[in-house]
Amino acid sequence: MNPINNPFAPGAGTPPPELAGRDEARETVRIAIERARIGRPAKSLLMVGLRGVGKTVLLDRIRMDAAGEGIRTLRVEAPEKRSLPALLAPELRLALLQLSKNERAKDLAQRALRGLAGFAKALKIRYQDIEVGFDLSPEPGLADNGDLEHDLQALLEVAGSAAKKAGTTMAMFIDELQYVEENELAALIIALHRTAQQQLPVILVGAGLPQLRGRIGKAKSYAERLFDFPEIGPLSASEARSAIRKPVEEQNIAIEDDALECIIQKTHGYPYFLQEWGKHSWDAAATSPITLEDVETASETAIAALDQSFFRVRFDRLTPLEKKYLRAMAGLGPGPHRSGYIAEQLNREVTSLGPTRGQLIAKGMVWSPSHGDTAFTVPMFDEFMRRIMPGDEWKD
Percent of the chain with pLDDT over 90: 90
- What is the average per-residue pLDDT within 159-187? 96
Rounded to two decimals, what is the model's pTM? 0.92
pLDDT digits (tens, 9 = 90+) for 20-58: 999 999 999 999 999 999 999 999 999 999 999 999 999
- When pLDDT is averaged across residues 235-242 and rounded to a whole number, the result is 97
How much is the mean pLDDT over the chain? Answer: 94
pLDDT(12) > 90: no
Which of 198-202, 323-327, 332-336 is predicted least confidently? 332-336
**Which pLDDT score, from 0 to 100, does residue 7 have?**
96
pLDDT at 239: 97
> What confidence tens digit (pLDDT) does each residue in 144-159 have?
999 999 999 999 999 9
Domains in the chain and their CATH numbers? 23-228 (3.40.50), 235-314 (1.10.8.60), 317-395 (1.10.10.10)
Q: What is the pLDDT of residue 76?
A: 95
What amino acid is encoded at 325 in this protein? Y
Amino acid letter, residue 333: G
Element holding 367 (H helix, E strand): strand 366-367
Q: What's the pLDDT tens digit per position in 78-87?
A: 987 889 999 9
Residue 193: closest CA among 148, 143, 227, 158: 227
In tens, the pLDDT along 93-134 reads 999 999 999 999 999 999 999 999 999 999 998 999 998 888
Alpha carbon distance 147, 128 (integer Å): 14
pLDDT at 204: 97
Q: Is 206 helix (H, G, I), strand (E, B) or coil?
A: strand
Give the angle subtended at the CA of 150 by the CAs of 56 and 162, to the nearest 5°: 65
Over residues 235-263, the mean pLDDT reads: 96
